[in-house]
Every structure is written in structure tokens, then in C-alpha cells.
Structure 1
């Protein structure tokens, strides 16, 4: 078992206080958006050896198939999608051949992997994810008596369904949403909200997003997206090609080891509207919450239909002096999300974790037990066979 020292990302949308407070540290007045736990080359964790020497995590773990993050958003993230494995591989190879540096801000594909991900809420966590149904978008647009909204409604009426919604996105991102047009949309939404009129939080969301990104075309795209709020302890899965934008809150994110993001608004980072449209998935359903399964008596397991990762969250207390046993895996990263605990491996070795601290456990550590009073989240490689996974899990009643 190895304690981890992790890389942090200071993106402008990050909270100045949440991640430092989570780790029991004072803030420095600068935003801290993410803490990365894993082996991604742009932010690899360091493993602390017994003599205190720091080594890259990959030297003891190899390349992990998943990346674990603590994310704290004080304002909206970009409107974005993550590419499929096929698109990611082709894009990465093209940029490599062109000699674009990995740390070049204009680079889109940082690695050849897709990026399915899951968010587990630590606080109330708000996101925009997936397109609303056509009929709902039309109701929203028809309620706004401004030229841009009426024009977009006409486009979608003539071509309903996914293809028509993509046409709206292309229209907005190709210059159809000027600053004046965006401002008119926002003013109309604000007027309706002030009169107690809204459609599934669409108008209120536009006003909220425009406060941080005035005049941005992504504000208009927000009208097209489902608003979802996770409460602490709830999780949601985002597959490849699902358009989304996290708004506010703190969560754990677990994903395939990738940093490939195609953006189209609500950001100061480079945009790739053409690439985003190419990656959009035809799925029209609202964001699927992940229903947890019960492992033992005290552990919720969130296991979406991907082979790269699963997440187990367990609470231990004085009522279980022997501790709780975590789901087995050969590769695991643990982070303590509350209290103070001891992690015990199969050989009886112990490692203490307090809130905000993290560790890696490998195949030689065997089954892990957690004792103390607190909560631990384990990101791990799930069993390779679906039948094995089902044998481990009992439906949560």
C-alpha cells in the first residue's frame, strides 16, 4: 500500500476553498478545480515509499485503466463532449504526426483513449447533461419572444429529432448567436423567471450560466440540455459523446484514463465546435443516475456498463469494530471522504487515512479492510467477467 501525493489543476472555474478544506489545508486565494489520482502523464500521482521517497505511481502500479478525481466547481465548466475510442485514437495519431506538443493549449487529443466517466456527489452537484426531447425544446423556445429563439424553433420544427437538434447546435456555434442575440435570450429568460415562469429549470439555468459567461453562445446551448441535480451520495454516468456541462458543486469523478475533451462554449480554453458536433452521440435520453448495489452491509457499489472502472463507497463505525471489507480488485485507489480510518491489507499491514488523503493498493495487498469512524471511496478495476460482477453484488432494496 502506498500513500499518494497528487497533482492539482487550477482551472478558472475551480473553487478557492473546497478542495483545500477537504484536505484540511488553508486556501491560497487561487482556484483549485481538480485533484488527479492516477497515472495519466499530464498529472501522474506520486507514491510515497516506506522511506519517504516519492516515485511516480506507474512505477509501482503500471498504467492504470482509470483516473480518479476530486472536482470542485465554483462556476460552470465548458459545454463539452468526450470522444469515442475510435475518434480519440484517430485524433491522437493525427496530432502526434503533426508534431503538436501534449502541453500545447491548442491540442485536443492528449491520449488515444475514450473517456466515459461517472460523477459521485460530495455536495449538492448540478449539471447539464444530454439533450432534452424535441417537444420540450420547442416549448422552451416558443416561450421566448425573441428572434433567435423563434428562428431556432423554426429549424427544429422543420427537422425534429436528434438531427434537428444538432442543426441547432451548429447554427449557434457557427455565428448564429451573436452577443446581442444571446443577451436578448437571457433578458427574456430573466423576465419569465421573475414572473414565476419556467420549464424544467431551463430559463433559470440560462440566467445562472449567463452570470458567469455573458454573451457566450454556450448560454443558448444550455437551453437545449437537461438540468440534473445530484444530492450527496448519488452518482450519474456520462458515456462517450454525451454533451454536458457541470455547473456547481463538489464530486468525485472516476473515468477511463484520458483527458480528451472537445469544447464549444462557456470556457476560456480553445474551442472545437466542429469536433464536438462530430462526437455527439444520438442518445436522447435524460442522464441516467447509477443505481448502487450493496456489497456487504455498509458499501454501495456504483458499476456502470464499462470495463475500465467501478466505484465503491463504504462507511465504517464503532458498530463494526472489525471494520468493513472492500470489494476485491487487483488495482485500487482509495480516498477518505470523511473521518479517520485505518486501511488493513491481507498481510495485516496498516495505513492511516484522514479526510482528503488517498492511497494505492495493488494485487499483493489482497483483500482490504477499513476500520475506524469514517467513509472511504474506492476506485477500482471491476471483475473482468460480468457474471463475476453479479456474484459480488446484491441489488439494493
Structure 2
């Protein structure tokens, strides 16, 4: 086992307090958006060897197929989509051939991998994810006294369904919706909220987001997306091709080892509306919550139907005299999410973890047990037979 040191990202939407407090540190007032745990070349963890040396984690047992993040949002993230494997490979090869540097902010494909991901809430976590049904979008648009809303409603009435919704998104992102048109939609949302009228939090969401991104086309897209609130301990799966925009809160994000993001609003980062439209997947237009299965007596396993990752969250106490066992895997990243614990491998090697601290366990560590009073989350490569698989439940 190897204790980890992990890089952080200070994006503008990050929280100055969530991650520092989670790790028992005093923040300096600057946003801390993400902490990365894995071997992605743009933000690789370092592993502590027995002699105290620090080496890139990939030197221990090779690259990991997954990446685990702590994500902390004080402000909304961009409207975005992650590509499928085929699109990611083609996009990466094209940008490589064009000689675009990996760290170029205008580059869309940082690696050739797809990026399915799952969010596991550490605090109350709000997100927008997946298109609402056509009928619901029409109810929302018809309730707004604004020319842009009326025009979009008429077009969706003539061309309903997923393809029609995507065409509305294309139109909004084409520049035809001017800032004053969008502000009129926001004003109409405010009027409905003052009347106590809303449709599944659509209008209230636009008002919340508009405080940070006035006049942004992403506000109109936000009207069309499902609003979901995860409570601590709940998880949601976002497959490649599903449109989403996280709003606020802290979560663990586990994903295929990729940093490919196509953005189309609610951000100061470069946009790729054409790429986002290309990546949208009709089969992933609705969100799925992840229902955990029980491993042992104290561990919930969240395992969506992907090959690259699963997440096990275990709680231990004085009642577990021998500790609790976590699912076995060749590759495991374990982070303490509460209390103080001790991780023990088959060779009886022990590493103590406080909240926010993490380690890597490889195939030679065998079965890993957790003792103490606290909670841990283990990101790991699931078995190919899906023995710890879980079910997905549609949001709507």
C-alpha cells in the first residue's frame, strides 16, 4: 500500500472552504474546485514508497483505468457533455495531428478515452442532468411571457422529441438568442417565482444560475434539464453523451481516466457547441440514480454498468472487531471520508488515514480491511463478471 499526495485544481467555481475543511486544513480564501486521485497525465497522484521517496503513481503498478475526484462547487459548473469512446479517439487523433498542445485551453480532447462518471454526494449536492421530457419543456416554456420562450415552444411543438430538443439547443447556441432575449426569459422566470408558480424548480434554477452568468445562453438550456438533488450517501450515473451542469455542493466523482469535456455555456472557458451537439446521445437523455448493493454488513457498492470503475463506501465502528473488508480488486484508491481509520492488507501492513487522506492498494496487497471509527470510499476496477453490480433507476 502507498499513501498518496494528490494535485488540486483551483477553478473559479470552486469552494474556498469545502475541500480544505474536509482535509483538516485552513483555507487561504482561494477557490479549491477539485482534488484528483489517479494517474491522468494532466494531474497525477504521487505515491510514497517505503523509503519515503515520492514517485508518480503510474510507476507503482501502471496507469489506472479510473480517476477519483473530490469536487466542491460554490458556483454552477459549465453546461457540458463527455464524449463516447469512438468520438474521443477521433477527436484526440485529429487534435494531435493538428499539433495542438495538450495544455492549450482551446483543446477539447486531452486524451483518447471516453468519460462515463458517477457522482456520490458528500454534502447536499445539486445538479442539472439529462433533458426533461418534451411535454415538461413545453409546460415550462408556455409559462414564460418572453418572445424567445414563445418561439422555442412553437418550434418544439412542430418537432417534438429528442431531435427537436437538440435543435433548440443548436439554435440557442448559434447566437440567434441575444443577451436581451435571454434576460427577458430570466425576468419571466422571476415573475413566475414571485407568483409561486414553478415547474419542477425550472424557473428557480434559472434565477440561481443567472446570478453568476447573466445573459448566458446556458440559462435557456438549463430550463430544459432535469434538476436533481442528491443527499449525502446518494449517487447518480452520468454516461458519456448525457448533458449536465453541476450546481453546488461537494461530492466524490469517479470516472474513466479522462479529462475530455465539451462545453456550451455557463463558463468563461472556451466553448465547443458543435462538439457538444455531436456528443449528445439519445440513449442517455435521462438520468439514472444508482441503487447500491450490500457487500458484507457495512459496505454499499455503487457499480454502474461500465468496465472502468465501481465505488464501495464502508463504515466501521468498535462493533467491527476485526474491521470490515472491502471488495477485492487489482487496483484500489481508498480515501477516508469521515472519522479516523486504519487500512490493513493481507501482509498485516497498516496505514492510518484521517478524513481527506488517501492511499493506493495494488494486487499484491490482497484483501484489504478497515478498522477504527469512520468511513472510507474505495474506487476500484470491478470484476469482469459484475458480481458486485447494481441496478439503475430512471429519474423520471
Check whether the contact 1:132–1:284 (CA below 8 A) recurs between aligned residues: no
- The corresponding residue for 2:43 is 43
CA-to-partner distance for each residue in 1:72-114, whole Å, 9 max, x for gaps? 0000000000000000000000000111000011110000000
- Structure 1-normalised TM-score? 0.97
Aligned to 2:144: 144
Cα RMSD (Å): 1.2
Asked whether 1:196 is paired with 2:185, we answer no
SS in 1 for 2:184: helix
Match of 1:362 in 2: 362
- Runs of 4+ aligned residues of structure 1 deviating over 4 Å after TM superposition are none
CA-CA distance at 1:284 after TM superposition: 6.3
Distance (whole Å) between structure 1 residues aligned to residue 329 and residue 355 of structure 2 = 23
Q: Following TM superposition, by how much is the alpha carbon of 1:194 offset from its aligned partner in structure 2, in angstroms?
A: 1.2
Cα distance in 2 for partners of 1:302, 1:389 equals 8
Shift of 1:61: 2.1
CA contact (8 A) 1:125 1:229 kept: yes
Q: What secondary structure, in the 3-state scheme, does the structure 2 residue paired with 1:379 have?
A: strand
CA distance in 2, matches of 1:293, 1:138: 37
- Which residue of the partner structure matches residue 273 of structure 2? 273
Alignment correspondent of 2:216? 216
Q: CA deviation at 1:394?
A: 11
Structure 2 residues not aligned, in runs of 5+: none
Q: Is the Cα–Cα contact under 8 Å of residues 127 and 227 in structure 1 kept in the other structure?
A: yes
Query: Which shifted more, 48-57 or 264-273?
Result: 48-57
In structure 2, the residue matched to 1:10 is 10
Checking the alignment, whether the CA contact within 8 Å between 1:3 and 1:360 is kept in structure 2 is yes
Partners of 1:211 and 1:220 in 2: CA distance: 14
Equivalent residues of 2:301, 2:388 under 8 A apart:
no
Looking at structure 2, the residues matched to 37 and 367 of structure 1 have their Cα atoms a distance apart, in angstroms, of: 21
Say whether the 8 Å CA contact 2:10–2:32 is kept in structure 1: yes
Deviations 1:292-336 (Å, cap 9, x if unpaired)?
000000000000000000000000001112110001001000000
Q: Does 1:29 align with 2:29?
A: yes
Residues 383 and 27 of structure 1: is their aligned pair in 2 closer, same or farther, counting only changes over 3 Å? same
**Residue 285 of structure 1, CA deviation:** 5.2
- Counterpart residue number, 2:83: 83
Per-residue CA distance 1:19-57 (angstroms, 9 max, x = gap)? 011110110111000000000000000001122211000
Gaps of 5+ in 1: none
Aligned position for 1:112 = 112
**SS in structure 2 opposite 1:383?**
coil
Partner of 1:125: 125
Q: Secondary structure at 2:289's aligned position in 1?
A: coil
Give the match's secondary structure for 1:165: helix
Could you say which residue in structure 1 is the equivalent of 2:242? 242
Counterpart contact for 1:82–1:262, Cα < 8 Å = yes
Deviations 1:186-224 (A, max 9, x none): 111011111110000000000001011111000110000
CA–CA separation in structure 2 for the residues paired with 1:342 and 1:83: 38
The residue matched to 1:378 in structure 2 has which SS?
Answer: strand
Per the alignment, residue 95 of structure 2 pairs with: 95
Contact 2:291–2:391 (8 Å) recurs in 1:
no
Match of 2:165 in 1: 165
Tell me how far 1:138 sits from its aligned partner: 0.4
State whether residues 304 and 391 of structure 2, in contact with CA within 8 Å, keep that contact through their aligned partners in structure 1. Answer: no
1:262 matched to 2:262? The reply is: yes
CA contact (8 A) 1:133 1:284 kept: no
Kindly report which structure 2 residues correspond to 1:294-373, keeping only aligned pairs within 5 A, or say none. 294-373=294-373
Aligned to 1:54: 54
Write out per-residue CA displacement over residues 273-294 of structure 1, whole angstroms, 9 at most, x where no aligned residue.
0000000011365311100000
Match of 2:69? 69
The SS at the match of 1:175 is coil
Alignment CA distance shift 1:285-1:166 (3 Å): closer
Tell me, yes or no, if the aligned pair for 2:300 and 2:312 is still in contact at 8 Å: yes
| TM-superposed deviation, 1:234 | 0.2
Native 8 Å contact 2:241 2:284 kept in 1: no
- Contact kept in structure 1, 2:345 and 2:365, CA below 8 Å: yes
Q: Give the Cα separation in 2 of the matches to 1:332 and 1:107.
A: 30
